[in-house]
Structure 1
């Protein structure tokens, strides 16, 4: 039976996400009953439970869900626009640009706060993505293959520059590695409010560009013959990927595999129509990253694993399975 997306499917994913959010607020080194969580959410009273929920778990829960949503949608858009099911938002150089900017902020300006990292990360992500976009574009606009090649080259250069800085300065390395591991913990809601405008702008561009993705799968010439403006849709789509990935990386650091694996899960659930794949990918990404953050708190209690580590451990085997499926790797 052919799978197709539906409002019912989105509703079920939304309910699953709501359950994951509740679990995230309740589970940790000190577990709380769901009723207690709801009570202190609605009526903060200064108790230990209220402090735990509002100061510690609510910010990381909001950030994990938001970052998962952004990376899931960015991954679906990236794979759709490049017509490459193994493409990842990191191919645009966004993650590498954000990392290099954070390192420069620590090394040259002595930035030590997570809020400061967010601003440098956003700036670096934007500049790197703009460079990749400029290098990978031809007279006919951004070419999918050229963008991937340009992104790979720019990312390699920025990674080399980042490593050259951190290897020369031990203090910079100590500060940088805490951000680079990818984590939703230790952040407050100020970081969320900083990246929210960029995430909303990316979601708006994604909503505008998504309906044209189905035609773009047929090729630019066919899409143009059917009345579409391929260049306009590509610019909007790649712009959305830049904003969403930049906001996600700024908020929690680089988190691997979400943008690569989640769109494939969305395709299994929603079929081949990108009008359904993209929203499905957003909800699946938010659900997966929230649950990964919860899992990281449970596996090594009373300590915890950062969500970036959990995703790397889980995403690695899934990526190997994707590569071994030969029918997925053709452009």
Structure 2
């Protein structure tokens, strides 16, 4: 009886979030400086007419909305994976320096390799993500082990340090970094079909693999000794999932800049609602992350309407208080 109630709850939550995501996508396609309605949106999917409204929906709002869905899901799943492999409720791509490392290397490549193709930025982002995460983990490691708070402090320190370097690069190369400034402000409103084509293969592969292998994260959550007793190679599992984090977070940063806090707050919400089984947490986090970023993007349009504002403003307003709440708890519970 209890298992039936649990299954009903899970199905209800997945269905509710999915329907809210669809509603958010339609709202994102509708709202902007140019007014449209839901009828025009549905017509634009099946029409070859070149009207102003159809072109705006097809070439501006649709790729922007798809980018929000892909990046929201990718960052949320990356955060869930990080919290699972480190058993640290404060872990996320941003807090662990992954986003800042990816941003630094992307900015360096844009400044010193101005002719670089957009598709190559993904690989530079991957390299930077590995660099940032490795620095944080090496700083937090000691003979007495690591703790959630120690990792968080090391992550914040590295994040601030790398961010300062980025600001210095932008300051001393003003003429060649105008296109970088809005990207660094965590913006997706300029997204085009080129960005969608750039990110979707990496994000899709990372998300699918994460969902398929999510059970390994649940086993890892039982503790290293228990996982080894069940025949799991803990080192290999952590390394493999760390690379998935690099793929998901690196690809996201290469397109939209270092959007923060999604990977921190979404896994917590998912665990509170759906339990500790990562076979459910991973896909549910993906849906919640997509919903959050699509909603944040819609809300960001009202900050200086009809002008655009970076979506990172909204995610920061939501995420910063939540991070302070978690830090106040001291990271004692891996919820």
Whether the TM-score (by the shorter chain) exceeds 0.5 is yes
Separation of aligned partners in 2, 1:16 and 1:305: 23
> Among 14, 21, 28, which residue is 2:25 paired with?
21
- TM-score, normalised on structure 2? 0.86
Q: Alpha-carbon deviation of 1:330?
A: 4.7
- The separation in 1 between residues aligned to 2:95 and 2:209, in whole angstroms, is 19
- Per the TM alignment, residue 238 of structure 1 is displaced from its structure 2 partner at its CA by 1.1
Going from structure 1 to structure 2, the CA distance change for 1:86 and 1:123 (only over 3 Å counts) comes to same
Q: Which residue pairs with 2:267 in the alignment? A: 263
State whether structure 2 residue 317 is matched by structure 1 residue 313.
yes
Q: Which of 38, 51, 57 is matched with 1:53 structurally?
A: 57
CA shift digits 1:190-215 (9 cap, x unpaired): 11111222212322331243102222
Name whichever of 252-261 and 96-105 sits farther off: 96-105
Q: Using structure 1 for the length normalisation, give the TM-score.
A: 0.87
| Alpha-carbon distance in structure 2 between the residues aligned to 1:52 and 1:68 | 23
Contact 1:132–1:147 (CA<8 Å) still a contact in 2? no
Aligned residues: 324
Per-residue deviation at 1:232? 2.5
Distance 1:61-1:128 versus aligned 2 partners, 3 A rule: closer
Q: How many Å separate the matches in 1 of 2:136 and 2:307?
A: 44
Query: How many angstroms does 1:258 deviate by?
Result: 0.6
| Correspondence for 2:284 | 280
Aligned to 2:301: 297
Distance across 1 between alignment mates of 2:67 and 2:168: 30
**What is the DSSP-based 3-state SS (H/G/I as helix, E as strand, rest coil) of the residue aligned with 1:283?**
helix
Measure the CA separation in 2 of the matches of 1:285 and 1:318.
15
Partners of 2:315 and 2:217 lie apart in 1 by 28
Deviation for aligned residue 1:275: 1.5
> How many angstroms apart in 1 are the aligned matches of 2:292 and 2:206?
20
Displacement of 1:75? 0.8
Aligned counterparts, 1:142-157, within 5 A? 155=159
State the shift of 1:278 in Å.
1.3
User: CA offset at residue 219 of structure 1?
Assistant: 1.4
SS of structure 1 residue aligned to 2:304: coil
Does the 8 A contact of 1:92 with 1:132 survive in 2? yes
For residues 254 and 131 of structure 1, do their structure 2 counterparts lie closer, same or farther at Cα, with a shift above 3 Å needed?
Answer: closer
2:249 is the counterpart of 1:245: yes
Asked if the contact 2:98–2:133 (Cα under 8 Å) also holds between the matched residues in 1, the reply is no
Corresponding residue for residue 120 of structure 2: 119
Please give the alpha-carbon distance, in whole angstroms, between the structure 2 residues aligned to 1:150 and 1:237: 21
Which residue, out of 232, 235, 247, partners 1:231? 235
Uncovered stretches (5+) of structure 1, i.e. residues with no partner: none
- In structure 2, stretches of 5+ residues that fail to align are none
RMSD: 2.9
Task: Tell me by how many angstroms 1:127 deviates.
Answer: 4.3
